[in-house]
Amino acid sequence: MQILPASRIRNLAPYLFADIDRIKREVEAKGVDVISMGIGDPDLPTPGFIVESLKQAADNPKNYRYPDYQGLARFRAAVAGWYRRRFGVSLDSETEVCALIGSKEGIANFALAVVDPDDIVLVPDPGYPVYRTGCLFAGGRPYAVPLTKATGFRPELEAIPQKVARRAKLLWLNYPNNPTGATVEPAFFVQAVRFCLKNEIILAHDAAYSEISYDGYRAPSALEVEGARDCAVEFHSLSKTFSMTGWRLGFAVGNAQLIGALGKTKTNVDSGVFQAIQEAGITALESNESGLYESCAVYQERRDLLVGALRGLGLDCETPRATFYVWAEVPKGYTSVSLAVKFLNEAGVVITPGSGYGKFGEGFVRFSFTLATPRLREALRRVQALRL
């Protein structure tokens, strides 16, 4: 008997990083100390007061029961309070907030909640792969919206053909941006909301990196724009903001009908977030965020080290105002994959090929600086010895 996975699995693009993983294993087998700059996983510890809150909540037997699908009422209220303080946006915590098992889960489930077979989904390219994957799992048709150096890695929404815009159901945006590190000002969301309302498109904004910023930059929310509540939802994660990646806690906010649809989807596929983790999340969201400022200062120092070293190597890159990624242009004679292989083979350093984020990511590589500063300095010492 031949057993085949579902077509939605068979139709997924080949895993680009398989060769890099294979080469990494080969290099490690030779005794090389491989340093990874390929994953955006904060190395800084979760603040101690949040960990203590989890410990206390884990001692409460009430938290051992099945959690509410859309989150504890107190957690949703804490999210609404944080949004009011941070963005000046008032939310109904009962109908406009939904807890998530990390924002990745919410992003994937949101496609199931709103996308019908053959619906067009406007997906940024390069972009976080889950936007496209979620669309495909829901039977939708992804349409790549280019993010190019010429446009500051921002989409030209009015350049989307009208026949495509009229048929589109959903537009994904992500600022501060992964993988490019690009940022936007509030006027960008004014244009995006206007475009979506005009074409009756749902706007989904992934704001996971909104709090990791430098040089005085403060990322705006799409929900600050007049009319956004008629078409938009926004996804946030405590992973980056509070170094809680393994905790799997995030939230979605915005249009009540869309949040309700997401909640109904979650009701049928998961059991919500462990309540003790939500209690710790409340502690984080209601804190003064002093630990966040300290983390951003550490990341900024690393960013400056990395940008300086890459420019010294002859790689063209911008200094990002947010995220913990540097998006560097590949020199002539290389593809994004061949450059990543060179870094791994000759320096023992893992970086991410831009082509893994879409067709328009070719010609770039992504460096993450979520590794201890001494390790970063060692990686840069090795990289600076390369001849490109």
Contact 259, 96 (CB under 8 A): yes
The sign one gets for the Cα dihedral 219, 224, 226, 230 is: positive
Q: How confident is the model at residue 210 (pLDDT cuts 50, 70, 90)?
A: very high
Residue after which a domain boundary falls, among 250, 285, 320: 285
349 within domain boundaries: yes
What CATH number should be reported for the domain holding residue 242?
3.40.640.10
What CATH number should be reported for the domain holding residue 331?
3.90.1150.10
Q: Cα 9–12–15 angle (5° rounding)? A: 115
- Mark whether 278 and 318 lie in a shared domain: no
- Mark whether 191 and 257 lie in a shared domain: yes
Question: pTM of the predicted model, to two decimals?
Answer: 0.95
What is the pLDDT at residue 19?
Answer: 65
Q: pLDDT tens digits, residue range 320-331? A: 999 999 999 999
Indicate the number of domains in the chain: 2
- Mark whether 150 and 248 lie in a shared domain: yes
Q: pLDDT tens digits, residue range 12-24? A: 766 556 667 787 8
Looking from the CA of 254 toward its CB, the CA atoms found within 13 Å total: 30
**Helix or strand run (H / E) with residue 308:** helix 290-312
Q: What is the mean pLDDT of residues 47-56?
A: 96
- Mark whether 31 and 54 lie in a shared domain: no
170, β-bridge pairs: 121, 202
388 within domain boundaries: no
Residue after which a domain boundary falls, among 285, 301, 327: 285
Contact 281, 72 (CB under 8 A): no
204 within domain boundaries: yes
Q: pLDDT tens digits, residue range 123-148? A: 999 999 999 999 999 999 999 999 99
Residue after which a domain boundary falls, among 262, 285, 308: 285
- Mark whether 233 and 356 lie in a shared domain: no
Radius of gyration of the chain (CA): 21
Q: What is the mean pLDDT of residues 149-177?
A: 97
Domain containing residue 332? 7-45+290-383
212 within domain boundaries: yes
What is the pLDDT at residue 18?
Answer: 63
- Mark whether 295 and 278 lie in a shared domain: no
- Mark whether 267 and 212 lie in a shared domain: yes
Q: How confident is the model at residue 26 (pLDDT cuts 50, 70, 90)?
A: confident
Helix (H, G, I), strand (E, B) or coil at 280: helix
- Mark whether 238 and 366 lie in a shared domain: no
- Mark whether 195 and 245 lie in a shared domain: yes
Q: Tell me which amino acid residue 197 is.
A: L
- Mark whether 334 and 276 lie in a shared domain: no
Q: Tell me which amino acid residue 86 is.
A: R
CA 244 from chain centre, in angstroms, equals 14
| Statement: residue 206 has pLDDT above 60 | yes
- Mark whether 140 and 279 lie in a shared domain: yes
- Mark whether 69 and 191 lie in a shared domain: yes
What percentage of the chain carries pLDDT values higher than 90? Answer: 86
